[in-house]
Amino acid sequence: MRIAIYAFTGITMFHLSVPQMVFDEVARQGLATWETILFSDDAEPITTAEGYQITGVRGPEAASGAEVVVVPSWYDDGRPAGHPLRELLVASHDRGASIAGLCLGTFPIADAGLLAGRKAVTHWQGFDQLTARHPDLEIDDSVLYIDHGDVITSAGTASALDACLHMVRTRLGAAAANQVARSLVIAPHRDGGQAQYIQRPLPERAEDDSISAVLNWAAHHLDEDLSVERLAEVAHMSLRTFIRTFRASTGATPASWVRMRRLDEARRALETSSLSIDQIAVNCGFGSVVTLRQNFAAAFKVTPSEYRRRFEAQPSSP
């Protein structure tokens, strides 16, 4: 099977290497006769984001016989794909080739019209731009990749490994995918998406000094009653004035700010401490592990226990 991988000046070495590493490992392990080739718009050498020049890149005609065409990433500015690439992707799809858009590589796939009315995923930093350009798309941040059979898209950066292993699994079976994963020393399958990686920043300092003082106080008293009435009392404001000033200063309601601050602290504790999840729930002001679990899963699409298994820095307590 021939797999054509699109290369362009400015692509990172990592993005360009992922499909080559996974698919070439199939051949190295003797599992199937798979061949990867690099092609570009003009067959000229490309320069990677790291400054390395790559020669031997073929022209677009090299993708004409490929069973799989991969766009492993895209320009950081998310620029629209040019007509030649869009035409190549559509022609490849029409003749039955599978199309893969990895990380920001979802952008040109969408530009080619191959994701119209479908679910897709890309790096979380590209969500807004992609949906603004293609409002008929539905972005799903709860998964690492989405496979429609003819078109597959993956989430940010390392999720390309998951998508490529999935393509091995669907074509050669789980045993082959496991062998490739074992050889590359990566997980043969990971659950969950990238919601837990998405930054939902809150202002470090509110414009209003009174609100800034309340934020600082609340951050150090997460295990206490942080009702809006209590926060207004700390700010020495009437309830109505406090709510209006808080929203103007932070862009959030007091309740949503407190919830996200508690969730952020819970994440930090899960990553860096060996405290039990029950204790973390109490320390962060959720009261019970059930309440923590419900809020955590709603925000990050993963349970606290699953999050700890992926991110823990110390062994969790029994």
Rg (CA), the chain: 24
CA pair distance 104, 171, nearest whole angstrom: 24
- Give the domain CATH number at 159: 3.40.50.880
Confidence grade of residue 307 (pLDDT, cut at 50, 70, 90): confident
Confidence grade of residue 318 (pLDDT, cut at 50, 70, 90): very low
Report if residue 99 sits inside a domain: yes
Report if residue 203 sits inside a domain: no
Question: What tens digit of pLDDT does each residue of 60-102 get?
Answer: 999 999 999 999 999 999 999 999 999 999 999 999 999 999 9
Answering whether pTM is above 0.85, one says no
Residues 191 and 217 in one domain: no
DSSP state of 300: H
CA pair distance 12, 193, nearest whole angstrom: 22
Q: Taking residues 304-317, report their average pLDDT.
A: 65
Residues 24 and 51 in one domain: yes
Indicate the number of domains in the chain. 2
Q: Taking residues 192-218, report their average pLDDT.
A: 70
Residues 226 and 296 in one domain: yes
Provide the greatest CA pair distance for the chain: 73
Q: Taking residues 110-119, report their average pLDDT.
A: 96
Q: Taking residues 115-129, report their average pLDDT.
A: 95
Report if residue 111 sits inside a domain: yes
Question: What tens digit of pLDDT does each residue of 271-294 get?
Answer: 788 999 999 999 999 999 999 999
Q: Who contacts 10 (Cβ-Cβ below 8 Å, separation ≥6)?
A: 47, 48, 49, 75, 76
Residues 111 and 230 in one domain: no
Q: Which two tokens stand for residue 44?
A: 């000229």
Residue with tokens 């798979």, as numbered in its chain: 34
Residues 176 and 213 in one domain: no
Residues 104 and 149 in one domain: yes
Q: Which of 171, 195, 219 is the last residue of a domain?
A: 195
- Give the domain CATH number at 280: 1.10.10.60
Residue with tokens 């209590």, as numbered in its chain: 230
Q: Is residue 252 exposed (0-12), middle (13-18) or buried (19+ Cβ within 10 Å)? A: middle
Report if residue 200 sits inside a domain: no
Is the pLDDT score of 200 beyond 60? no
Residue 274 lies in domain: 209-311
Neighbours of 189 (CB within 10 A): 13
CA pair distance 93, 151, nearest whole angstrom: 8
Report if residue 147 sits inside a domain: yes
Q: Give bridge partners of residue 147 from the DSSP assignment.
A: 152
**What's residue 315's pLDDT?**
40
Report if residue 97 sits inside a domain: yes
Q: What percent of the chain has pLDDT over 90?
A: 75
Confidence grade of residue 311 (pLDDT, cut at 50, 70, 90): low
Indicate the SS3 state at residue 152. strand
Computed over every residue of the chain, the mean pLDDT equals: 90
Residues 82 and 176 in one domain: yes
